């Protein structure tokens, strides 16, 4: 009876890792056999690193490893058989066997080494799984043709690696993309490998990589260049309504992930987690963090994180927020927090299956859920470009530890005001432009309960932007309202309105008014009339859509107007925390607080709370966040 591999030693320190020696066989039907042996990574023999998707473990396949009969998943079994040579042993690294998956301590030691493992490999072998030659050959052949055309163009223009203009310079005949080619390309980029979080760093760190799909092979560099050309080509459809036949043909091919995997860029910790938050999955939610650490720079952030698979998912996510706060004394991580509309603190709602809740939630209200892709637009990020400093001169976060309650994060700051009234929740289903209300698909699998939300959406309901403006009742200047609706930004170079000259700021105000007039006409007369979009109003409406999605407007008891998270409700408080460039919404829970999300309140974005006399400045206090 096959059983898990019995390892002769645990690897808990040092630079030791294991390699798999695949025993050769002339007959591919022979028993798959290998030896798993430890090496110092600095003295290891030449090896290849396998990049693949574990997939469904059933039906398991028998493997003879170190003389023991063990079971492995079908995907790994297929890959090892495909790599097995007839005459000589092939040395590979495969995580499922080379790391003891039953030993959380060993995993915690080996995972930080994976960057070195993949970068030191002679070659990374990407296994996409079995494939029919009728699919693999056309897709790889087309990809080579595109790549070769790109290389010729680069040589002609004296460019080595820049591909930003290839989609303009390289013209591929429309006839190349016949139905068979398009179908095979679609099948290629829908392979699970392109959506696995671990594969990002595995391929980015490779000095040389080969892609194998069934019996077909091609270099990763050729495939990546081809994917980037297709992705950039699709952008033509969004530029000035340009009509490009080839772009129209390839627009449904899902190459975005492949294009992202091609780059070699390094990121700060939060940037990496945010950049790959959507589109990539992990069977273990902890790997939404741990699976990207080899792409993080500076390394001090990785070292401070301390990989530990014995921690819960919630603890791992909290670690990411704490690392940034402790290293930089900033609250940048808070910009990445978005809760569901009905959120009321850690509890059963944190779990997809309520039976997984055992009376205690491992998640923190103040820590981003990196396994959730339904997030509002971040305010004040990146910080280097942010003109706001709601905390004034208190630019360093002051965290107070509470050893009696380690789940808490205690921060110093001041209360601004209590939320007196809230507007409607704004999201894609009611923010849509009335003229294009029927353009939205109802089967968006990335949006929870999309069909149910559309079912309750009333197309005759007054647009939230009109409601928001009516709620001001003339008490708010149009300039301030326009800034609030777009959280102070305009797309002219992705600028903040306050940085623009007076004439351009006036254009922003006028664009807001024209957009409101147009929405009103469409809502009640179903005719744009003279208020049809010009460039400024169209841009304003898109900016406002991005800023307001998953948020709601609010009035405070002092009469201030602003935007807050869609989970905000009457009785919540708006606070300014030291080290935060925006205000935040908290919900009192006894002597503690639930962190709800970021806020935009136009009159306190630049430290105004701390600019009055000593008697006017709110009293400092400590907020213990659950």
Express each pLDDT in 209-240 by its tens digit. 999 999 999 999 999 999 999 998 887 776 55
Q: Is the predicted pLDDT of residue 354 greater than 90, yes or no?
A: no
Q: Does 561 fall in a domain?
A: no
Shared domain for 149 and 230, answered yes or no, is yes
The whole domain housing 156 covers: 133-208+220-262
Average pLDDT over residues 336-364: 90
204 lies in the same domain as 244: yes
Do 290 and 415 fall within a single domain?
yes
Residues 120 and 144 in one domain: no
Nearby residues of 137 by Cβ (< 8 Å), 6 or more positions away: 184, 216
In angstroms, the CA 116 to CA 104 distance is 20
pLDDT over 90, % of the chain: 71
The answer on pLDDT for 567 being more than 90 is yes
Element (H, E) at 270: helix 269-275
- 394 located within any domain: yes
Residue in 227, 552, 622 with CA at minimum distance from that of residue 409: 622
Per-residue pLDDT tens over the stretch 568-621: 999 999 999 999 999 999 999 999 999 999 999 999 999 999 987 666 788 999
What confidence tens digit (pLDDT) does each residue in 315-342 have?
A: 999 999 999 999 999 999 999 999 999 9
Asked if pLDDT for residue 169 goes beyond 80, the answer is no
pLDDT band for position 448 (50/70/90)?
Answer: very low
Does a structural domain hold residue 178? yes
Determine the Cα–Cα distance for residues 191 and 263; give it in Å rounded to an integer.
Answer: 19
Q: What is the DSSP string of 156-224?
A: HHT-SS--TTHHHH----GGG--HHHHHHHHHHHTSGGGGBHHHHHHHHT-SSEEEEETTEEEEHHHHH
Q: Judge contact between 565 and 376, C-beta under 8 A.
A: yes
- Residue ending a domain, choose from 514, 549, 584: 549
Tell which wins on pLDDT, 238 or 422: 422
Neighbours of 542 (CB within 10 A): 14
Q: Which residues contact 506 (CB under 8 A, 6 or more apart)?
A: none
The residue-averaged pLDDT of 257-285 equals 94
- Considering the domain architecture, whether residues 309 and 452 belong to the same structural domain is answered as no
Cα gap 198→51, rounded to integer Å:
8
Within 10 angstroms of residue 459's Cβ, the number of other Cβ atoms is 11
Q: Which of 98-112, 180-194, 492-506 has the lowest mean pLDDT?
A: 492-506
- pLDDT at residue 134 tops 70: yes
Span 396-418, pLDDT tens digits: 987 765 555 556 899 999 999 99
What's the confidence (pLDDT) of residue 199?
A: 97
- Classify 567 as helix, strand or coil: coil
Q: pLDDT category, 73, cuts 50, 70, 90?
A: very high
Q: How far apart are CA 316 and CA 370, in angstroms?
A: 10
- Confidence tier at 280 by pLDDT (50, 70, 90): very high
Is residue 1 a part of any domain in this protein? Answer: no
**Which residue, of 92, 127, 162, is where some domain finishes?**
127
Q: Say if 5 falls within a structural domain.
A: no
Same domain? For 438 and 473 the reply is: yes
Domain assignment of residue 56, yes or no:
yes
Q: Give the residue with greater pLDDT, 5 vs 316.
A: 316
pLDDT at 513 over 90: yes
* Poorest-pLDDT segment among 235-239, 253-257, 280-284: 235-239
Provide CB contacts within 8 A for 343, sequence distance 6+. 349, 365, 567, 594, 596
What is the DSSP code (8-state) at residue 278? S
Residues 411 and 285 in one domain: yes
For the record, the structure tokens of 381 come out as 């990020």
Specify the higher pLDDT residue, 480 or 242. Answer: 480
Q: What pLDDT band is residue 452 in, cutting at 50, 70 and 90? A: very low
Looking at residue 1, its pLDDT comes to 43
Determine, yes or no, domain membership for 41: yes
Q: Quote the percentage of the chain above a pLDDT of 70.
A: 91
Q: Are residues 367 and 453 in the same domain?
A: no
In this structure, the answer to whether residues 464 and 511 fall within a common structural domain is yes
Average pLDDT over residues 510-533: 88
Enumerate the H helices of 372-477 as residue ranges: 428-431, 450-456, 464-472
Q: Answer yes or no: do 242 and 294 share one domain.
A: no
214 belongs to a structural domain: no
**Number of domains the chain is built from:** 4
* C-alpha to C-alpha distance for 199 and 292, rounded to whole angstroms: 9
The answer on 407 and 276 residing in a single domain is yes
Same domain, 96 and 56: yes
Q: What φ, ψ does residue 426 adopt, rounded to 5°? A: -110, 130
What pLDDT shows up at residue 391? 93
Q: Which of 110, 127, 144 is the last residue of a domain?
A: 127
């Amino acid at each position: 009876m096959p059983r898990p591999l019995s390892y002769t030693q645990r690897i808990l320190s040092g630079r030791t890792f294991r390699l798999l020696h695949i025993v050769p066989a002339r007959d591919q039907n022979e028993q798959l056999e290998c030896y798993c042996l430890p090496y110092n990574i600095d003295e290891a023999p030449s090896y290849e690193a396998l990049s693949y998707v574990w997939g469904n473990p059933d039906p398991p396949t028998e493997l003879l490893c170190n003389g023991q009969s063990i079971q492995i998943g079908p995907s790994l079994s297929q890959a090892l058989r495909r790599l097995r040579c007839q005459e000589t042993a092939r040395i590979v690294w495969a995580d499922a066997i080379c790391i003891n998956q039953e030993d959380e301590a060993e995993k915690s030691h080996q995972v930080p080494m994976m960057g070195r493992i993949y970068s030191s490999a002679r070659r990374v072998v990407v296994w996409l799984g079995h494939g029919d030659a009728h699919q693999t050959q056309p897709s790889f052949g087309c990809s080579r043709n595109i790549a070769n055309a790109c290389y010729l163009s680069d040589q002609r223009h004296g460019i080595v690696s820049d591909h930003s203009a290839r989609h303009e310079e390289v013209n591929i005949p429309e006839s190349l993309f016949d139905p068979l080619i398009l179908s095979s390309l679609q099948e290629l980029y829908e392979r699970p490998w392109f959506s696995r979080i671990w594969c990002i760093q595995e391929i980015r760190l490779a000095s040389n990589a080969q892609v194998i799909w069934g019996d077909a092979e091609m270099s990763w560099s050729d495939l990546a260049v081809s994917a980037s050309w297709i992705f950039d080509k699709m952008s033509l459809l969004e530029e000035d309504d340009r009509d490009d036949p080839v772009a129209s043909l390839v627009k449904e091919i899902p190459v975005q992930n492949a294009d992202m995997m091609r780059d070699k860029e390094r990121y700060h910790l939060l940037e990496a987690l945010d950049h790959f938050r959507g589109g990539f999955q992990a069977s273990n939610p902890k790997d939404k963090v741990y699976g990207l650490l080899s792409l993080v720079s500076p390394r001090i952030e990785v070292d401070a994180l301390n990989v530990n698979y014995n921690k819960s998912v919630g603890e791992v996510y909290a670690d990411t927020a704490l690392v940034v706060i402790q290293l930089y004394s900033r609250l940048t991580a808070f910009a990445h927090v978005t809760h569901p509309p009905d959120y009321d603190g850690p509890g059963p709602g944190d779990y997809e299956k309520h039976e997984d809740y055992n009376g205690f939630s491992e998640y923190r209200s103040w820590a981003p859920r990196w396994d959730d892709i339904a997030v509002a637009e971040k305010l004040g990020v990146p910080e280097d470009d942010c003109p706001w400093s709601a905390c004034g001169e208190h630019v360093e976060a002051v965290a107070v530890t509470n050893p009696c309650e380690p789940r808490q994060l205690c921060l110093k700051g001041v209360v601004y005001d209590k939320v007196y009234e809230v507007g409607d929740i704004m999201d894609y289903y009611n923010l849509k432009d009335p003229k294009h209300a029927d353009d939205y698909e109802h089967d968006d699998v990335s949006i929870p309960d999309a069909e149910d939300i559309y079912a309750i959406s009333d197309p005759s309901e007054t647009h939230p932007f009109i409601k928001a403006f009516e709620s001001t009742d003339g008490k708010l200047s149009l300039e301030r309202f326009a800034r609030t609706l777009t959280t102070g930004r305009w797309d002219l170079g992705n600028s903040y309105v306050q940085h623009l000259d007076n004439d351009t700021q006036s254009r922003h105000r006028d664009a807001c008014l024209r957009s409101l007039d147009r929405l009103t006409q469409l809502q009640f007369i179903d005719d744009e009339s003279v208020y049809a979009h010009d460039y400024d109003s169209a841009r304003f409406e898109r900016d406002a859509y991005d800023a307001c999605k998953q948020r709601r407007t609010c009035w405070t008891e002092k009469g201030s107007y602003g935007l807050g998270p869609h989970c905000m409700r009457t009785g919540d408080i708006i606070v300014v925390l030291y080290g935060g460039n925006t205000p935040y919404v908290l919900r009192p829970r006894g002597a503690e607080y639930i962190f709800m999300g970021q806020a935009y309140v136009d009159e306190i974005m630049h430290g105004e709370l701390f600019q009055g006399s000593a008697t006017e400045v709110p009293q400092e206090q400590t907020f213990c966040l659950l």
